[in-house]
Amino acid sequence: MDNPVALCDQALPRPRPGTAAPFTVNDTVLALAGEAFTRHHNGELPQAIALYEHILGLKDLPVIRNSLGQLLAESGRHHDALVHYERAVALNAPYADALCNWGASLSRLDRLDEAEAKFRSAIAADPNFAHAHHNLAVVLKETGRIDEAVRAAKQAIRLAPQNPSYYENLAAIRKFTPRCRYLEALERLAQDCASLSIDDQIALHFALAKAYEDIGKPDAGFEQMLKGNQLKRRQIGYDEDAMLARMTHTRELFNADFVRARQGAGDPSPLPIFIVGMPRSGTTLVEQILSSHPAVFGAGEINWLDQAAGALAKAIPGSQPFLDKVTTLSGEHFGALGRSYLDRLKSAAPHALRIVDKMPGNFLFAGLIHLALPNATIIHLIRDPVDTCMSCFSANFVNQPQTHDLAELGRYYRHYDELMAHWRRVLPPGRILDVRYEELVCNLQIIARRMIAHCGLAWDSRCVDFHRNPRPVRTASAAQVRRSIYRSSVGRWRQYEKFLGPLLAELPNPHH
């Protein structure tokens, strides 16, 4: 998910509409609050949580409730955060910051209708609250209301024209044009880029890259793309050696003998449909097509298979990760893994005949899927390697660390390609349906019928009207899949060819 809804900044009570009223506090509470905010800002999360909880034991302050909710949300504890936002608003309604943060956590929990309501409440409390308009725009984009999303994004920019992330969100849902005032504003911001925070610089570069591509200036666009990715790569921890070694080790462990000896013991349910492949290869498009079938529910990008494998690893003696315990697993273990995964998957849509798990990185687990869920459907998306990688490189991903350096991206792609070739060799013929993106966009109905048949379902013509499907989409393709099929992304990489040497040198069997 890109340009996700975000928490608004929080500090001591501020005198603006919809913020926490200035409650009377003694010097002790004020000193503790100052220390808590400092530790929070410095990333000392456990210490800050303890301080916030201690303060609430002394005095129940809405600003502390909101800050504790923020901190819990930053730690991934969104359910826990909701309690504190609700209390903050109850203590001091209307409280725009808490309402906006409440909406952000609801959004992360996929409760988008409730999130939208909270953002609108925050705006009602403070119509000039730019961040609430921005978060509303993101949710509207994800739910397919593109025109409304554009209006909300523009309003966020009008209220806070110095915030590059608001332009980046707008760039994701509409094209820029020459002499567009939003492009001119971005260019003015770029003149003093060094004064911005690193995150804002990254957002600025990616927004400008998209804008320059839109207006036919690929050289200027690539320069911005490169700057954004270089900054992002310095920000993140990516252990390339460990990632590539994991793919190699997977091939070594899941050899033909290993698969043959353990198959047949998994759970026989045909419920799951796994869509796997590289990011930006067409996986969201395929999920949208499949989930337009009345018998299919699209669950989005869920990491439940990885979590189920991790839980199984913990249940087996030893501290090694799951992959290092694979050779000790019996057929019964794989059956238990399949049942554990299914129990959670069924809760997503209890009445669906099929449920789509569109986590592209599940290509790592194709052998595991075959053993644990022998009747699950696996659909693998393949797109031109250079187009795939270029599309990845142009996206300001939240959690795809391999995509911010061209050479690293090329090596990752090569190892992914080798692993998929391995699965074709060791799994039964036809176990994985390969779908080529270029064929799909040229022959939608033929390929869609093939995919539906592979899922064991009768054809339904709604699958070719996928762009009318109102289901939420929370990936970088959220706006694109609201359009009918288009082919303009095929060969997109060629406008950047002269810059792609480091990528092309690493890709398998270069043929371009």
> HSE-up of 351 (CA within 13 Å, CB side)?
1
Would you say residue 483 has pLDDT above 90? no
Query: What is the CATH class of 241-504?
Result: alpha beta
Q: What is the dihedral of CA 108, 109, 112, 118, to 10 degrees?
A: -80
- Which residue ranges make up each domain of the chain? 1-160, 172-235, 241-504
How many residues are listed for the chain in this entry? 512
pLDDT above 80: residue 486: no
- Cα distances (angstroms) measured from residue 336 to each of 9, 116, 315: 44, 39, 11
Q: What is the mean pLDDT of residues 178-191?
A: 92
**CA–CA gap between residue 485 and residue 304 (Å, rounded):** 30
Question: What is the reported pLDDT for 485?
Answer: 58
Q: Could you count the other beta carbons within 10 Å of the beta carbon of residue 465?
A: 12
pLDDT at 467: 75
Any idea what DSSP says for residue 263?
Answer: T
Judged against a pLDDT cut of 70, whether residue 122 lies above it is answered with: yes
Which has the higher per-residue pLDDT, 204 or 27?
204
CATH T-level assignment (fold) for domain 1-160? 1.25.40
Q: Which helix (H) or strand (E) holds 202?
A: helix 198-214
pLDDT beyond 50 at 1: no
Structure tokens at 40: 């929070």
Radius of gyration of the chain (CA): 24
For residues 3 and 69, the model is more confident at 69
Q: Residue 510 — pLDDT band, cuts 50, 70, 90?
A: low
Contacts of 367 (CB under 8 A, 6+ apart): 250, 254, 259, 423, 426, 427
Residue pair 398/345 in contact (Cβ under 8 Å)? The answer is no
Q: What is the pLDDT of residues 269-292, one digit of tens each?
A: 999 999 999 999 999 999 999 999
**DSSP-assigned states of every residue in 368-399:** HHHHH-TT-EEEEEE--HHHHHHHHHTS--SS
pLDDT digits (tens, 9 = 90+) for 24-70: 667 788 888 888 888 888 888 889 999 999 999 888 999 999 999 99
Going by pLDDT thresholds of 50, 70 and 90, the confidence category of residue 476 is low
Phi/psi for 378 (5° steps) reads -125, 120
* Exposure of 341 in the CB half-sphere (CA atoms within 13 A): 34
Whole-number Å distance between alpha carbons of 100 and 123: 9
pTM, full prediction: 0.87
Q: Give me the pLDDT at residue 479, please.
A: 59
Pairing of the two strands 272-277 and 432-436: unpaired
Residues 6+ apart with CB under 8 A from 29: 55, 58, 59, 61
Ordered alpha helix ranges (H), 269-405: 283-291, 304-315, 322-325, 331-348, 366-372, 385-393
Q: Name the more confident of 439 and 465.
A: 439
What helix, strand, coil percent values describe the chain, rounded to 5? 65, 5, 35
Question: What pLDDT is stored for residue 275 in this prediction?
Answer: 98
Identify the CA nearest to 2 among candidates 364, 301, 409. Answer: 301
pLDDT at 487 over 90: no
The set of residues, in sequence order, having a beta carbon less than 8 Å from that of 429 and lying 6+ positions away, is none
What does the buried/exposed string (b/e) look like for 117-128 if buried means 16 or more CB atoms within 10 Å of the residue's CB?
A: bbbbbbbebbee
Give the DSSP H/E element, type plus range, for residue 436.
Answer: strand 432-436
Confidence of residue 15 (pLDDT cuts 50, 70, 90): very low
Q: Are 55 and 61 in contact (CB under 8 A)?
A: yes
Which residue in this structure is represented by tokens 């939420």? 472
pLDDT tens profile 342-373:
999 999 999 999 999 999 999 999 999 999 99
pLDDT digits (tens, 9 = 90+) for 158-171: 999 999 999 999 99
Neighbours of 86 (CB within 10 A): 14
Q: Is the distance from CB of 402 to CB of 408 less than 8 angstroms? A: yes
Q: What's residue 11's pLDDT?
A: 39
pLDDT at residue 101 above 70?
Answer: yes
Give yes or no for a contact between 32 and 54, defined as CB atoms under 8 angstroms apart.
Answer: yes
Give CA–CA dist 439/382, Å, rounded.
10
How much is the average pLDDT of 446-469? 91
The span from the CA of 472 to the CA of 180, in Å, is 30
The token duo for 247 is: 């793919």
pLDDT on residue 263: 87
3-state SS assignment for residue 354 = strand
Two tokens, residue 259: 């698969």
User: What is the 3-class SS of 89-141, one letter each residue?
Assistant: HHHCCCCHHHHHHHHHHHHHCCCHHHHHHHHHHHHHHCCCCHHHHHHHHHHHH
Mean pLDDT of the chain: 90
- Structure confidence by residue, pLDDT tens digits, 208-262: 999 999 999 999 999 999 999 999 999 999 999 999 999 999 999 999 999 999 8
At 184 the three-state DSSP class reads helix
Under 8 Å between Cβ of 369 and 259:
no
Work out the percent of the chain whose per-residue pLDDT is above 70: 91
**Of 89, 64, 76, 145, residue with least CA distance to 112:** 145
Please count the other Cβ atoms lying within 10 Å of the Cβ belonging to residue 486. Answer: 10
Q: How far apart are CA 151 and CA 343, in angstroms?
A: 41
